[in-house]
């Protein structure tokens, strides 16, 4: 039979480790979530009886592959959702029109691609409304979906989006692919 003697030093180390783990665990949650009693999250997926995949793209920089992408999606009768940045809409309004005319959904990815949680509510509202106005001017449809740049969100941003009658959509699988080869 073995005896294990717990000294004051062992006890101090064990308590310190436990307290450290608790501090790390609690620190993983934002103060905002604790203060309000909840941490909100965007929509990552929706329930469906059908076996479906929601295909989406973010359009923020160039448009060199847009025509080919429209062609490929059309060839396979695939509809996708494009989350566009307002500055992209300014540069490539014809691409927005082509995507919309091809039956794809066009929604909001902010006006200038900022880290939204770093903005005030007024700045977030301006980002969302400016982008929505640009999309609506081309497609005659006001976006109701928003994808946050960088996937960066907090309760304040989610509340701002909701206050505008919109829904925040997040991806649940990221390919990071730059080219589609079929």
What is the residue extent of each domain of the chain?
Answer: 1-39, 56-168
pTM for this one? 0.75
Domain 56-168, CATH: 3.20.20.370
- What pLDDT sits at residue 172? 77
- What pLDDT sits at residue 35? 55
Cα separation of 162 and 2, whole Å? 62
- The tokens describing 123, both together, are 């700045």
For residue 129, the number of C-alpha atoms closer than 13 Å in the C-beta half-sphere is 9
- What pLDDT sits at residue 67? 94
pLDDT digits (tens, 9 = 90+) for 15-44: 454 544 444 444 444 445 445 568 898 888
Q: Which residues of the chain have pLDDT under 70?
A: 1-37, 174-182
Give the residue among 109, 92, 100, 96 at the shortest CA–CA distance from 149. Answer: 109
């Amino acid at each position: 039979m073995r005896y294990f003697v717990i000294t004051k030093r062992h006890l101090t180390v064990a308590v310190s480790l436990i307290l450290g783990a608790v501090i790390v665990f609690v620190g993983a949650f934002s103060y905002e979530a604790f203060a309000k009693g909840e941490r909100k999250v965007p929509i990552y997926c929706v329930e469906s009886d059908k076996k479906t995949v929601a295909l989406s793209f973010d359009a923020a920089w160039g448009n060199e592959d847009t025509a080919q992408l429209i062609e490929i999606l059309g060839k396979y009768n695939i509809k996708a959702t494009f989350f566009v940045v307002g500055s992209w809409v300014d540069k490539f309004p014809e691409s927005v029109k082509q995507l919309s005319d091809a039956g794809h959904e066009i929604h909001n990815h902010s006006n200038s691609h900022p880290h939204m949680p770093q903005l005030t509510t007024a700045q977030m509202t301006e980002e969302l409304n400016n982008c929505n106005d640009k999309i609506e001017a081309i497609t005659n449809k006001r976006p109701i979906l928003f994808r946050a740049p960088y996937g960066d969100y907090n309760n304040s941003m989610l509340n701002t989006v909701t206050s505008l009658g919109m829904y925040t959509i997040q991806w649940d699988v990221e390919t990071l692919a730059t080219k589609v080869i079929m």
